[in-house]
Chain A
Amino acid sequence: MQWDIVIGLEIHVQLATRTKIFSGSSTAYGAEPNTQANAVDLAMPGTLPVPNENAFRYAVMFGLAVNAEIGRRSMFERKNYFYPDLPKGYQTTQLEQPIVGPGYVDVDLANRETKRVRIHHAHLEEDAGKSLHEDYHGMSGIDLNRAGTPLIEVVTEPDMNSAEEAVAFARKLHSIVTSLGICDGDMSQGSMRFDVNISLKPKGSDELGTRTETKNLNSFRFMEQAIAHEVERQMDILEDGGRIIQETRLYNGDRDESRSMRTKEEANDYRYFPCPDLLPVVIDDDFIEDARSRLPELPDARKARFKEQYGLNDYDAGLLSGDAKLAAFFEEAAAHGKDAKLAANWIQGEFSARLKAEEKSVAESPITGAQLGDLVVRIADNTVSSAGAKKVFEALWTGENDNVDAIIDAKGLKQVSDTGALEAMVDEVLAGMPDQVAQYQNEEDPKKRKKMLGGFMGPLMKASKGQGNPKLFNEILVKKLGG
């Protein structure tokens, strides 16, 4: 049987406000446990929440960026459940009147199609603390530093039909929130966490199947694997004539396994009701216009500009515009390098490969866009060969030297492009290889001749101590050998 896969996402995005959503504690990551939890965060008796205006501003910016309606009257509810890292015994969240209403995001797919994913809504809420189960001799530790960190929970419509589409959407959303500067995007620290709702239905059917929710995926790779895993699990059950149970599942990425966390029957009755400690928040036109004025260039607009301004193709423009930091790096390199396409090639080639190999982010790169641009200039004006350029890149990366021209000088990487000098070298080398010259000149097949040309390049590069411009050598050779 053929199946349609139906996927909807819920994404928790930690907002990069300096302080928490309802208290003045710092939101910085990585502090000693409970050093960033004040009386409000600890839910001490009598303490009260005071909303952080910046959290609302960021949420509105997000709403504008995903073409959404902004909730003009925004309310908070209490979601009641007991858990040790939930200090008040309820989470302050939004249910009936969220700050961001329906919107959409357009996602570029690898097959060059564009997919529109609708946003159902996004609401503001507070994060919980963390339970630490190790190192406490059978007891659990509670760290409330994270408790009260502002989140927006983005809920999509079930508009995605494959792991690839879901991941592409997730990456796009990551790109939007980091471009907006409302989230640091650091998934390893939990700044963005994905819950994936998956169901299957017979191909072409209009009726949705029973869904499961896989919670707390914190990398794109795990997300892709978890979807593949869950689709396969559901397919196996359905094809054996079984039924899918509506449940919440946890995925273990290291083992590629998932297990049931709770079924619908075991689900909490959260007893939502309006939080009486917080008045409804009215978002007026001035607030929205202020938020709009803070919007930076968003990925879609940036992509269009990269195509227009730098003459990049759709694919390159999409890749370089998605991540705000990478886009800035590219623009710096292009400005210094004067050859945007060449800069784009180097960023997607050597630079990206090196970042990946060392598991570094663009922000952690030891070289700057300007340095890469300087190198691009020297490649374009034939000062260095591409082989030489790789050596320069290496020296920049390791911090051996920070100046491109100084490295070229010091390492003797400057190409010889003086035609007279190169011709003399060609004459000398050809004179020493009469048999090969004769063989070449007797060969009729142009493909084979081209290949044989390579046989002269080695000795030529040797004769020029690696500094001869290979492109010019090639031209001279062809001329001297008579086509």
Chain B
Amino acid sequence: MHNKSVAELSRELESGKISSVELTQQFLDRLKQEDGKYNSFITITEERALADAKTADEMRAAGKATAWTGVPFAHKDIFCTNGVRTTCGSKMLENFVPPYDATVTERFRQAGAVCLGKTNMDEFAMGSSNESSHFGAVTNPWGLASGEKRVPGGSSGGSAAAVAARLVPAATATDTGGSIRQPAALCGVTGLKPTYGRVSRYGMIAFASSLDQGGTMARTAEDNALMLNVMAGFDPKDSTSIDREVPDYTATLNEPLKGLKIGLPKEYFTDQLSPAMEEQVRNAVKEYEKLGATVKEVSLPNAKLAIAAYYVIAPAEASANLSRFDGVRYGYRCEDPKDLMDMYTRTRAEGFGTEVKRRILVGTYALSHGYYDAYYLKAQKVRRLIQQDFANAFKEVDVLMSPTSPSPAFIQGEKTNDPVTMYLEDIFTIAINLAGLPAMSVPAGFVDGLPVGLQIIGDYFAEARLLNAAHQFQQVTDWHQREPK
């Protein structure tokens, strides 16, 4: 069962061959047995999962099943789950149990899905390797057979590793600068970051509010579509969510791709990309040509400024978003504070990890009196230029394609002492967040036995088109079905 997709499991449950309780127990047993190797979960909610499975079976018996009723999955530990601790990968929230659900978790609950637990992540979603988690690094299932412990990417590394290792068929994730697409690429799974505003951010712990977007991770494009069907939609609790009709994302998966116009941004095919990686990506594009698509080169002249702009805007927003972790109302508080200042400084010094503190400092600096214009305002101007670049490109083509990451999964510890090199992991993904566009990463080959991701970028609200393109690719390739040894 663990190799089956969400769509397949849904059919198994519908046929009555297996109950959700049985299925859930199988997944839980496997999860408990296997996850020692990956550390992809922070919390496993066995009792609750089995209770939910029982409810799901009752719903199905009563004829009230959805595609998700009784299907096991997991949430990234950034989504608040009522009554289940939500850590965001931080010591600061090690014992935090929210008394409310994120809109995303509430929607999956209403659909009858069975959450097995909360997946590991970089602390407060700040990282590209899942090494900044207070709960330990996550190990990529790929490469383990040759004795190498490689990173799964980040920040949604737990979700990506868990899906790749067949611990769950699907997991939620979030993407601020590439945190869905890059780990999906490094773990050989399929991930989608929707248009900013498509999925509610309520109850999703904020890193950089204008960039954060919840999304999907599974092995197939079809399963991503099933997830997005649950997650997408306007939420009155999130003023930045967009009130726009949500299509059935599975309905258009089988549309032919004939005539699809693909753009290849020349700035994303440079010497930052190894020839081996580039070859895999170009091969994938050739598959699309075989499916009837046309390809042309396009330009995103300001794309090179994306990393610099991002590392002003994201830390600036984060510096304010993380001020609430002050030891006053919930979360970690230092022992025996001698006064208010001591409580603030020690709580935050002890409760946050190195990368989080680095970004709070950078963001605070960028917003400081006398620097604001030079950094924050300038970065916002760059952001508008980048948005304009994409708008121009989409006048010519339907989708853009590029590598998702510059290199495959690297060895743990290799980049931890060099933050800038680590930041460059997101060189192909970050501009998309600055523009607020939807994008996917789809398994597209291997280099040295490690997965390579193809990034497909769409215009605003073009999720259905992206899923269609990914699904058609997956009908003629099997990269997404490869299983790590």
Contacts and interface: CB of A to CB of B under 8 A. Distances in A.
Nearest to B331: A45
A87 B324 contact: yes
B395 interface: no
User: Which of B78, B206, B236 has most A Cβ within 10 Å?
Assistant: B206
Nearest to B380: A274
Contacts of A87: 324, 328-329
A48 B238 contact: yes
A314 interface: no
A277 B324 contact: no
A438 B138 CA distance: 120
A277 B240 contact: yes
Contact of A89 (B96, B240, B326, B376): B326
B324 A43 contact: yes
B172 interface: no
B209 A276 contact: yes
Contacts of A48: 201-202, 237-240
A282 to B, nearest CB: 13
B204 A89 contact: no
User: For chain B, what secondary structure do more than half of its interface residues adopt (helix, strand, loop), or is it mixed?
Assistant: loop
Contact of B102 (A46, A88, A273): A46
Contacts of B240: 48, 276-279
Contacts of A277: 206, 209, 239-240
A39 B99 contact: yes
B43 interface: no
Contacts of B328: 84, 87, 142
B356 to A, nearest CB: 14
Interface stretch (B19-27, B269-277, B362-370, B400-408): B362-370
Contacts of B340: 84
A49 interface: yes
Contact of B204 (A46, A51, A276): A46
Contacts of A45: 80, 86, 88, 93, 96, 98, 205-206, 324
Nearest to B212: A276
Contacts of B326: 82, 84, 89
Contacts of A78: 320
A80 interface: yes
A269 interface: yes
Task: Classify chain A: how many residues form its interface, as a range.
Answer: 20 to 34
B459 to A, nearest CB: 21
B223 interface: no
B239 A51 contact: yes
B324 A89 contact: yes
B369 A269 contact: yes
A138 to B, nearest CB: 11
B320 A89 contact: yes
A471 interface: no
Contacts of B206: 45-46, 277
A279 B241 CA distance: 10
B442 interface: no
B316 interface: yes
B202 A47 contact: yes
A388 B119 CA distance: 84
A39 B323 contact: no
B349 to A, nearest CB: 14
B392 to A, nearest CB: 25
A469 B99 CA distance: 76
Given A49-B239, A276-B317, A80 B323 contact: yes
A222 interface: no
A104 interface: no
A271 B364 CA distance: 8
Interface in B305-331: 316-317, 319-320, 322-324, 326, 328-330
A272 B238 CA distance: 22
User: For chain A, what secondary structure do more than half of its interface residues adopt (helix, strand, loop), or is it mixed?
Assistant: loop
Nearest to B203: A46
B210 interface: yes
User: Which of A45, A50, A84, A90 has most B Cβ within 10 Å?
Assistant: A45
Interface string A245-271: 000000000000000000000000101
Interface string B237-257: 111100000000000000000
Contacts of A142: 328-329
Contacts of A228: none
Interface residues of B, number: 44
B80 A46 contact: yes
Interface string A97-113: 00000000000000000
A278 B239 contact: yes
Contacts of A47: 100, 202-203
User: Which of A82, A88, A142, A276 has most B Cβ within 10 Å?
Assistant: A276
Given A48-B239, A279-B239, A271 B204 contact: no
B205 A46 contact: yes
B344 interface: yes
B423 interface: no
A155 interface: no
B100 A39 contact: yes
Interface in B195-251: 201-206, 208-210, 236-240
B449 to A, nearest CB: 38
A276 to B, nearest CB: 4
A395 to B, nearest CB: 55
B202 A46 contact: yes
A476 interface: no
Given A39-B100, A84-B328, A269 B368 contact: yes
B11 to A, nearest CB: 34
Interface in A41-59: 42-51
Given A49-B239, A50-B237, A84-B328, A273 B323 contact: no
Contacts of B323: 80, 82, 88-90
A269 B236 CA distance: 33
B444 to A, nearest CB: 33
A87 B328 CA distance: 8
Interface string B42-80: 000000000000000000000000000000000000111
B348 to A, nearest CB: 10
A79 B96 CA distance: 26
B197 to A, nearest CB: 10
B461 interface: no
B410 interface: no
Nearest to B330: A44
A46 B75 CA distance: 15
B460 interface: no
A144 B317 CA distance: 24
User: Which of B93, B316, B324 has most A Cβ within 10 Å?
Assistant: B324
Contacts of A271: 319-320, 364, 367-369, 372
A183 B238 CA distance: 28
A45 B100 CA distance: 10
Contacts of A51: 239
Contacts of B80: 44-46
A77 to B, nearest CB: 10
A21 B328 CA distance: 22
Nearest to A277: B209
A269 B364 CA distance: 10
B364 to A, nearest CB: 7
Interface string A283-308: 00000000000000000000000000
Nearest to B363: A271
Nearest to B210: A276
A273 B330 contact: no
Nearest to B345: A82
Contacts of B369: 269, 271
A279 B102 CA distance: 21
17 contacts: A42-B329, A44-B99, A44-B329, A45-B205, A46-B102, A48-B202, A50-B239, A80-B323, A80-B367, A82-B323, A87-B328, A87-B329, A142-B328, A271-B368, A272-B367, A276-B210, A277-B209
The 9 A-B residue pairs whose C-beta atoms are closest, nearest first, are A89-B323, A271-B367, A276-B210, A276-B209, A46-B203, A43-B324, A45-B205, A46-B205, A269-B369
